[in-house]
């Protein structure tokens, strides 16, 4: 109980960069580790690990990430290599591409969603060859 290691509640190990509540940022951001947004952001986001948009976060951006947890507002398209979680009360307007999607009750989502491994199109099955056969006659 007392010697127990504290649980890591961050979506990924490593460094966390924060745009705090009350901060406004315009531009492009590329970070290592996790980016947590509690303020306002406009631009493009490239995050190798995780993006967390907190309840007070407002983001106008196209995002390419590994994982995302959205609790605030996102206006723009998001592509996640692994998983996107839309938390209760979040507001998303844009297209989503991911392998896994979790949507809590009370989420507003307007856009298209594409899911699957790599979002690849599967080719239609090949048609079986047709043989030229003569009808058989039954003998009595």
Does any domain span residue 11? Answer: no
Instruction: Give the separation between CA 48 and CA 68, rounded to whole angstroms.
Output: 11
Predicted local distance difference test score (pLDDT) of residue 47: 81
Domain-located, residue 137: no
Task: Identify the DSSP state of 22.
Answer: T
Over residues 17-25, mean pLDDT: 94
Residue 10 in this model has a pLDDT that exceeds 60 = no
Domain extent for 85: 16-107
Residue at 130 is within a domain: no
The pLDDT, as a whole number, for residue 8 is: 44
Of residues 105 and 47, more confidently modeled: 105
pLDDT of amino acid 109: 97
Q: What is the pLDDT of residues 52-100, one digit of tens each?
A: 999 999 999 999 999 999 999 999 999 999 999 999 999 999 999 999 9
Within a domain: 82: yes
| Residue 28 forms part of a structural domain | yes
Question: In sequence order, which residues have a C-beta less than 8 Å from that of residue 21 and are 6 or more positions away?
Answer: 38, 39, 54, 56
Residue 92 within any structural domain of the chain: yes
pTM for this predicted structure:
0.73
Say how far apart CA 42 and CA 44 lie, in whole Å.
7
Asked if residue 49 belongs to a domain, the reply is: yes
How far apart, in whole angstroms, are the C-alpha atoms of residue 108 and residue 100?
18
């Amino acid at each position: 109980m007392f010697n127990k290691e504290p649980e890591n509640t961050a979506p990924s190990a490593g460094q966390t960069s924060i745009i705090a509540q009350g901060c406004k940022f315009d531009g492009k951001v590329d970070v290592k580790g996790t980016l947590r947004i509690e303020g306002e952001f406009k631009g493009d986001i490239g995050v190798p690990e995780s993006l967390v948009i907190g309840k007070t976060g407002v983001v106008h951006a196209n995002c390419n990430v590994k994982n995302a947890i959205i609790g605030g507002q996102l206006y723009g398209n998001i592509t996640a290599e692994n998983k996107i979680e839309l938390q209760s009360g979040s507001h998303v307007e844009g297209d989503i591409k991911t392998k896994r999607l979790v949507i809590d009750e009370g989420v507003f989502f307007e856009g298209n969603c594409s899911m699957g491994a790599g979002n690849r199109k599967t080719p239609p099955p090949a048609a079986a060859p047709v043989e030229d056969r003569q009808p058989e006659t039954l003998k009595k």
